[in-house]
Amino acid sequence: MTDISALEAYAGQLAEAAELATSSAQTQHAVVNGDASTDVLTESGLVPSLAKQAVLSQAKVTASLTEVASQMAGAMTYPSIALGLAGTVSGGYFSVPSPDADEYLILYENVAGVATERKRYPSADGILNLIRKTGSRDVLRILDQVGKSALRITRSGGFIVLGRDIFAELGVALGVAKNVLFSGSARGGAIAFGDSQGKAPLTLTRTGRFKVWGRDILRELDALGDGAAFAAKLASINQMLTPNTNLIVAGDSLSAYADSWVRTLIPALTDQSRTLTNLAVGGQTSSQQAGRLGALPFLLTLQNNKILASGATTVSTSQMLAPDGVTLTTVWPISSQGTGPTWRARVSGVLGTFSSATFTGEVPTALVFTPDAGQLSADLPVEIGVPTESVWAAGHEYDTLLIAMGRNNFQDTATVKRDWLAVRNWQRTLNKRCVMVTPPNMSGEGIASGPAKYAAIVELERYAQELFGEYVVVSRQVLMRHPDTSLTADVDAVADGRVPPSLTSDGLHWLPATGHAYIRAAAAAIINRKGY
């Protein structure tokens, strides 16, 4: 009986297993063969058929790709802020190329139609510059007071002064002679710098010789220094390290007029033998000033979109287009400032002269461009809106630069900041020799009387101090220290964070005997104190 009972039980188990197998097969069949809308009931709950899983997966992939595409569209690179705002909705992101060589892109968020900066991305040059400043390949680094490398000697024989590889610029392949130990000439040094292994990358000898890795640099340079090209390279390096003491001014009407502080600055300086070139012109925005100086390109359209190899090419459009796409008034040098009827510039890299037979006011109406002889052997096709670079200030790139622009477009703070940076970078001295005079404010631009305009003025003042440090004349603050306390208007202006009216002629332009005198004294103090 026992065996029969066992067989019966086993038969029952087999029947149950068969039922389960049949049920599983049916479930599997439904999962495998069900349509795109089928859900199969299992012990774990509803499971979509393979067809439905494929549809759901495709939907997820599509949604992910849509999100990625949306993010990419929101962070696409546009040539200007204006185009970035036009191409995004509020809450979206876009990037614009940075004017700073150490940066690649600036990321903005479109906040209700206003571009708000979020991040800046370094360029390859910026990363390389950082590596050069901090790289472990250096065997010797001498730092200045702010931690930047003043002098570096690398293991590969590089001799880098203030960021410039002197040997590379001179085309001298000195290489590494040997890792000189403190023996022989190294021990005879008046000063010798050694590494952790007792090797001397730099030695100054008692006889006045200057040795890098045991090689007499001055003697080797003397031996290689024959020829005008080599002498020119040496002169270029020397000029970079020891800039001109002459001055050049980029500004608007506050520094353009004959009785402005700029025109009386030289007598206030310790060294009065220097010259001053005043490029300031009234009514100009910061972009126009930067374009006139040559720090920013402007765009022209030439007849038939080409530069004639000889003769004059008619200019179809003589308006400047700033990088943000805004059309500005002409950047033509105004004759009343002594610039004359012609203007030197490079059009698509071709050096030549602009001239005009007629003017309407200060705007040339028959503008032509004539390339210098020998610049072109054949007509040169150019694009519509060809980049044009002013060389009006050529030869002054090593002068001490006074920047006094931005009042005419101060509420466009992003543009003014870009233009200040471009003008600073236009100067070719290694340590930028700049003095910044910030835009003042006037009636209706104070803490209470015009908070939005006041905020823009203060934002620019702070940026100027970030960019130029102690080399800044904050004109508003300078003049607020000298009110006529007997005048209610002056007292009220200072309380409102504004320039006292008694120091101005029309609420903005400073009086020569008072307002200009204070600005001149502040600028002269910086130049005299810093040896500019």
What pLDDT sits at residue 75?
A: 62
Please indicate, yes or no, whether the overall pTM of this predicted structure exceeds 0.85.
no
Q: How far apart are the first and last CA of the chain?
A: 119
114 and 196: one domain?
Answer: no
Domain boundary among 208, 233, 258: 233
Q: Is residue 32 part of a domain?
A: no
471 and 519: one domain?
Answer: yes
Distance CA 82, CA 415 (A): 11
Angle at 119 between CA 115 and CA 125, to 5 degrees: 120
Q: Is residue 9 part of a domain?
A: no
What pLDDT sits at residue 335?
A: 44
Q: Is residue 107 part of a domain?
A: yes
288 and 427: one domain?
Answer: yes
471 and 441: one domain?
Answer: yes
What pLDDT sits at residue 513?
A: 86
Sheet strands (E) in 4-100: 39-42, 45-48, 93-97
State which residues form the domain around 471: 243-294+393-532
What pLDDT sits at residue 72?
A: 47
Q: Is residue 36 part of a domain?
A: no
514 and 404: one domain?
Answer: yes
CB 437 within 8 A of CB 251: yes
167 and 274: one domain?
Answer: no
How far from the centroid of its chain's Cα atoms is residue 406's Cα? 17
CB under 8 A, 24+ apart: contacts of 175-180: 176/213, 177/213, 177/214, 177/215, 178/213, 178/214, 179/213, 180/211, 180/213, 180/214
118 and 192: one domain?
Answer: no
Q: CB count, 10 Å around CB of 271? A: 11
148 and 280: one domain?
Answer: no
DSSP 408: G
What pLDDT sits at residue 525?
A: 95
310 and 374: one domain?
Answer: yes
Q: What is the count of structural domains for the chain?
A: 4
Counting every residue written for the chain, the total comes to 532
What pLDDT sits at residue 417?
A: 94
Structure tokens at 112: 């209700």
What pLDDT sits at residue 473?
A: 97
162 and 281: one domain?
Answer: no
Q: Is residue 190 part of a domain?
A: yes
DSSP 372: P
Q: How far is CA 243 from CA 86, 428, 532, in A?
A: 44, 9, 9
Per-residue pLDDT of the chain (532 residues; tens, 9 = 90+): 455 555 555 555 555 554 555 555 565 555 556 676 776 566 656 666 656 665 666 666 555 545 444 444 446 888 888 888 888 888 888 888 888 877 888 999 999 999 998 888 888 777 766 655 554 566 677 765 555 666 777 766 677 776 677 777 766 555 444 444 444 444 455 566 666 566 666 777 766 666 776 667 666 666 665 667 667 777 777 777 777 889 999 999 899 887 889 989 999 999 899 999 998 888 888 988 888 888 887 777 889 999 999 999 998 865 545 444 444 444 555 444 334 467 788 998 899 998 877 766 656 677 889 999 999 999 999 888 787 888 888 889 999 999 999 999 999 999 999 999 989 989 888 778 899 999 999 999 999 999 999 999 999 999 999 999 889 999 999 999 999 999 999 999 999 999 999 999 888 888 888 899 999 999 999 999 888 7
Q: Is residue 64 part of a domain?
A: no
CA atoms 492, 496, 499, 501: torsion sign: negative
Q: Is residue 446 part of a domain?
A: yes
Q: Is residue 54 part of a domain?
A: no
Distance CA 475, CA 503 (A): 12
Distance CA 181, CA 194 (A): 8
258 and 398: one domain?
Answer: yes
What pLDDT sits at residue 323?
A: 47
Residue 500's CATH number: 3.40.50.1110
Q: How far is CA 265 from CA 126, 172, 217, in A?
A: 37, 43, 42
Domain boundary among 233, 259, 274: 233
Distance CA 422, CA 396 (A): 15
Which residues, in sequence order, are CB contacts of 522 under 8 Å at separation 6+?
Answer: 473, 478
Domain boundary among 215, 233, 251: 233
409 and 268: one domain?
Answer: yes
